[in-house]
Amino acid sequence: MHFMYSLNKIPMNNKKEKFARFGIATKGFVYCLIGGLTVAAAFGEGGKKTGSSGVLETLSSQPFGQIILGITALGLLGFTFYRFYQAIADPQDIGNDFKGFVTRFGFALSAIFYGFLAFTAAKMIFTSGGGSGGGQESMASTLLSKPFGQVLVGIVGAAFLGKSIYQFYRAYSGKFKENVQAAELDSNVESMVLKTGYIGYTARGVVIAVISYLMFRAAFSANSSEAGGTKDAFSFLQNEFGTIVLAVIAAGLLAYGFFMIVKARYKTLGI
In a domain, 128, yes or no: yes
pLDDT at 134: 53
pLDDT at 189: 80
In a domain, 271, yes or no: no
Best CA proximity match to 57, nearest among 133, 141, 155, 161: 133
pLDDT at 46: 81
Domain interval for residue 138: 2-266
In a domain, 210, yes or no: yes
Say what the pTM is: 0.86
pLDDT at 253: 96
pLDDT block averages, 10 residues each, the chain of length 271 = 40 80 96 96 88 90 90 96 92 83 88 92 77 65 87 92 92 79 74 90 96 94 90 94 96 95 85 76
In a domain, 100, yes or no: yes
pLDDT at 1: 40
CA-to-CA separations, 228 to 201, 214, 221, 241, 259, in angstroms, rounded: 20, 6, 14, 18, 26
In a domain, 200, yes or no: yes
In a domain, 98, yes or no: yes
Number of domains into which the chain is organized: 1
Write the secondary structure of the chain as one string of H (helix), E (strand) and C (coil): CHHHHHHHHCCCCCHHHHHHHHHHHHHHHHHHHHHHHHHHHHCCCCCCCCCHHHHHHHHHCCCCHHHHHHHHHHHHHHHHHHHHHHHHHCCCCCCCCHHHHHHHHHHHHHHHHHHHHHHHHHHHHHCCCCCCCCHHHHHHHHHHCCCCHHHHHHHHHHHHHHHHHHHHHHHHHCCCHHHHHHCCCCHHHHHHHHHHHHHHHHHHHHHHHHHHHHHHHHHHHCCHHHCCCHHHHHHHHHHHHCHHHHHHHHHHHHHHHHHHHHHHHHCCCCC
In a domain, 143, yes or no: yes
In a domain, 189, yes or no: yes
